[in-house]
Amino acid sequence: MELSKTAEVVLQKRYLLKDEEGNPIETPEQMLRRVANAIAKAEENYGNDVKKYAKPFYEMMDEQLFMPNSPTLMNAGTELSQLSACFVIPVEDSIDGIFKALWDMAKVQKSGGGTGFSFSRLRPKGDIVKSTMGVASGPVSFMKIFDAATEQIKQGGKRRGANMGVLNVHHPDIEEFITAKWEEGVLRNFNISVAVTNNFFEALKKDEEYDLINPRTGEVVKRIPARKIFNLIVEGAWRNGEPGMIFIDEINKHNPTPHVGKIEATNPCGEQPLLPYESCNLGSINVSKFVVNDEIDWEWLKEIVWLCVRFLDDVIDMNKYPLKEIEENTKANRKIGLGVMGWADLLFKLKIPYDSDEAIELAEKLMSFIQSESHKASQALAEERGVFPNWKGSVWEKKGIKIRNATTTTIAPTGTISIIANCSSGIEPIYALAFKRMHILDGEEFFEINPIFEDVLKQLNLYNDEMLARIAESGSIQEIHEIPEEIRRVFKCALDIDAEWHVRMQAAFQKYTDNAVSKTINMPNNATRKDVEKAFMLAYELGCKGLTIYRDGSREEQVLRVKKKEDEKRWPKKPIGYIEPRPRPKITAGRTIETKTGCGALYVTINEDEHGIAEVFVQLGKSGGCAASQTEAIGRLLSIALRSWVNPEALIRQLKGIRCPSIGFDEGEIITSCADGVAKVLEKHLKGEYRKISVDLHGIKPLTEFTEEIKEEHKTKLIGGVCPECGNILEYGEGCMTCRMCGFSKCS
């Protein structure tokens, strides 16, 4: 297997088996043999020769034609042997049901899987709880408990916890759900999506109201303008990409086993709608490998599709499931999800622009072929092994088609497996044609360039360090006019492509995909809310099953990467002078608020003068000790910053979400640390929750005119931020932040 420098790093850091000291004890080739041999053992169940299939399984991975999802690569042939990436766990409307789901989540995430939940069955906030004659706290409050639990679990020792939280648009708490992630740090281990219905969209188009329904009683409790809710969804997506939309009626329209149940949720990146307690095994074909002499080799592709379907069906048998319910439901439907990666590379090789009708037509032709051949391969397996147990009563049975797997195709995220395969991710455009990376093992800096584009530059005699440095400034070549226009037309990056083409590409692949498509609709920083609205409406009209939007630079956690000249303009090397805080007034007025933390009661005193907050005192209920000194320090630093005209919103964002081992609860709200408690008290104070007169957050005086200049020039050129593990670029694509240097992922 020919590995790039980045692939070597990812394999060593995340995939290869290690000894007790963390040293790899297998090579990449040995890893692939381990996986191939383990999966091929399933052939014994059907009287077949294991070696006959282990060899081609190994070869297609070694040649980087196909890669299974990460848990299969990590765990096949090991004691853990949990091979699935995606799970959906039901959340029932009872305290037992909620905490059963929490327990199930812990088991799944410990084994290396991501979890999806619909919280739509939970009664709304303020509804009656008959057993205690109390009132319900609502879905969002329980989501925070799931979030806190996920924070403490690292999936299988290798993968981070990831969740999808779904709420139906008809739930009475839908507004609270939509706005839950408007504050940085809240539900940080969740992607959230609103399950929107056809009824909702009909009301939206007619500018009418629609029903909010209490799931406990089934009664309509309120009618609300659809436009109001849609605008909130658009606002959230514009602000920070949350929430996404799931078109739940379109999903259930294509549910292959409606007699078994309705689909209510998806896995964390949205590409796999699943029934409760169902899992799915995914894998992706590197389609760029099948370009031979400027054409797609369809016969070769057919051969690999058939082999992949057999491989993924074998995975179901060799899987060790974290829960009995999941094993039963997975084996009853035997869903698999074969998808693609390297799509952008394929277009580069064929000299077809991503944003063109020709690319859309080819996408439909390619995915139609893969889906058709995967169905045929599954039908052949049914002749050999039998249909899936829930076949009777399914859509397939009604069509008279005997098939082994209820579904066969999914376009999944391929963040790290595409690194191993040395190709572009999924069906996304390329993130950047070239950028500078730092090798996390030895600290060496180097330029990484798309290999297809590298060959083009060499043919043009433009391949040199100066050109690479210019491209790496923004990742794009659209402003580099020494490169011919016809080359710039083909080699476009994600932000060079209009959002409409992103949506159309997703819809083209969705048209011939059994499950769903993981894709991010990337928008530039200056995209408007109207642009976001148009993308959602177009996706609905074109038959997508969901949509994720990300506007460049819209997340506080994103560290900006801009051109060097712009950096120097915004942050001059000479200091602009230090700011002296205004003196502490002789008389202040305020109040002290108590909040509960894991370290005990925390008392936050907020005093104001005529300019705003003048000082903050923070004291733990227990005196003395390191914790008490730390909280005193927080108060002193906040006081100095606030008297220096630092926007309190910025200070709150810095403190909020900081976690310590001792988590507390204050009136049902999770307090993750003393710093988090201070931030939440300060935030509530500024919102006026502790007093009648509120403070105008936007009335804070600016530091200098220079600060305003910085604000006006707040622009970004690249989509991602900085990886917290290796310091390289994070890419936002396929519904998640991913580092293509070390394999770090926010979602997996």
**Residues 276-322 pLDDT 10s:** 999 989 999 999 999 999 999 999 999 999 999 999 999 999 999 99
Name the 3-class secondary structure at 298. Answer: helix
Q: For tokens 């060499």, what's the residue? A: 458
Closest by CA position to 533, among listed 230, 742, 736: 230
Name the 3-class secondary structure at 603. Answer: strand
Using alpha carbons only, how large is the chain's radius of gyration in Å? 27
Rounded to whole angstroms, the Cα distance separating 636 from 642 reads: 10
Residue 441 has what pLDDT? 52
Rounded to whole angstroms, the Cα distance separating 494 from 718 reads: 9
3-state secondary structure 616-673: EEEEECCCCHHHHHHHHHHHHHHHHHHCCCCCHHHHHHHHCCCCCCCCEEECCEEECC
Closest by CA position to 584, among listed 639, 627, 545, 655: 639
Residue 274 has what pLDDT? 97
Lowest-pLDDT choice from 9-18, 40-49, 267-276, 618-627: 618-627
| Structural contact between residues 517 and 427, judged by C-beta atoms closer than 8 angstroms | yes
pTM for the full predicted model: 0.80
DSSP calls for 127-195: -EETTTTEE---HHHHHHHHHHHHHT-EETTTEE--EEEEEETTSTTHHHHHHTTSSTTTTTTEEEEEE
| Structural contact between residues 361 and 391, judged by C-beta atoms closer than 8 angstroms | no
| Structural contact between residues 313 and 375, judged by C-beta atoms closer than 8 angstroms | no
| Structural contact between residues 285 and 529, judged by C-beta atoms closer than 8 angstroms | no
Q: Tell me, what DSSP letter sits at residue 496? A: G
Rounded to whole angstroms, the Cα distance separating 728 from 476 reads: 17
The sign one gets for the Cα dihedral 692, 698, 702, 703 is positive
Closest by CA position to 732, among listed 519, 441, 436, 420: 519
Question: Any idea which residues carry the catalytic annotation?
Answer: 267, 269, 271
Name the 3-class secondary structure at 343. Answer: helix
The structure tokens listed for 272 are 């796999």
The structure tokens listed for 692 are 């009648």
The structure tokens listed for 48 are 């077949």
Rounded to whole angstroms, the Cα distance separating 295 from 346 reads: 10
The structure tokens listed for 739 are 């580092």
Residues 603-613, mean pLDDT to the nearest whole number: 85
| Structural contact between residues 354 and 505, judged by C-beta atoms closer than 8 angstroms | yes
Q: Kindly indicate the confidence band of residue 238, based on its pLDDT and cuts at 50, 70 and 90.
A: very high
Residues 6+ apart with CB under 8 A from 352: 358, 359, 362, 490
The structure tokens listed for 465 are 């360090």
Name the 3-class secondary structure at 213. Answer: strand
Residue 356 identity: S
**Residues 376-409 pLDDT 10s:** 999 999 999 999 999 999 999 999 999 999 999 9
Lowest-pLDDT choice from 24-33, 364-373, 576-585, 696-705: 696-705
Q: Parse the chain into domains and list their residue ranges.
A: 589-703
How far does Cα 203 stand from its chain's mean position?
A: 30
Q: Kindly indicate the confidence band of residue 662, based on its pLDDT and cuts at 50, 70 and 90.
A: low
**Cross-strand bridge partners of residue 732:** 737
Q: Kindly indicate the confidence band of residue 736, based on its pLDDT and cuts at 50, 70 and 90.
A: confident
Residue 447 has φ and ψ, to the nearest 5°, of: -85, 135
Q: Kindly indicate the confidence band of residue 707, based on its pLDDT and cuts at 50, 70 and 90.
A: very low
Residue 452 has what pLDDT? 96
Residues 673-698, mean pLDDT to the nearest whole number: 71
More confident residue, 149 or 709: 149
Rounded to whole angstroms, the Cα distance separating 683 from 400 reads: 61
Residue 431 has what pLDDT? 86
pLDDT at 672 over 50: yes
Name the 3-class secondary structure at 590. Answer: strand
The structure tokens listed for 130 are 């008959």
The structure tokens listed for 73 are 């690569």
